[in-house]
């Protein structure tokens, strides 16, 4: 158990130390305070995915709910699991896996 906690702390420190503030529709992922969100990994071609997060916000175009960096560029992920692991670092947990990933 101690090794698991140590490994989780190491991953969290390493991941957050070099990460920029990711945001969705102008809100930082760390500032979204809702009970449920829906993660939709979208295949971007090649070997990358774009993550879309719906937490009940209003949006006009689906592209507005893409996870972006501070510069407004879409974050690219290596796989659907890479998207899920990114949100795990923000404290979210997998609740159910349907056609998209729902986490809380």
DSSP string, 21-80: --EETTEEGGG---S-EEEEEEE-STT-EEEEEESS---SSGGGGBEE-TTSPBPEESSH
Global pTM? 0.68
Instruction: Quick: pLDDT tens for 64-98.
Output: 999 999 899 999 999 989 988 988 888 888 887 76
Report d(CA 40, CA 20) in Å as an integer: 21
Q: Give me the residues paired with residue 38 across strands.
A: 54, 102
DSSP 18: S
List own/partner pairs for 69-73 with CB under 8 A and 24 or more apart: 69/20, 69/21, 69/22, 69/23, 70/20, 70/21, 70/23
Task: Provide the sign of the torsion angle of the four alpha carbons 72, 22, 46, 39, taken in this order.
Answer: negative
9 confidence band (pLDDT: 50, 70, 90): very low
pLDDT of residue 91: 84
pLDDT of residue 102: 60
């Amino acid at each position: 158990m101690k090794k698991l906690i140590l490994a989780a702390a190491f991953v969290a420190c390493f991941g957050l130390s070099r990460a920029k503030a990711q945001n969705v529709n102008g809100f930082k992922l760390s500032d979204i305070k809702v009970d449920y969100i829906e993660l939709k990994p979208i295949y971007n071609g090649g070997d990358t995915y774009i993550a879309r997060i719906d937490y009940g916000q209003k949006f006009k175009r689906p592209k507005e709910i893409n996870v972006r960096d501070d510069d407004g560029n879409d974050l690219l992920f290596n796989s659907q699991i890479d998207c899920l692991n990114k949100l795990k670092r923000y404290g979210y947990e997998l609740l159910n896996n349907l056609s998209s990933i729902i986490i809380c």
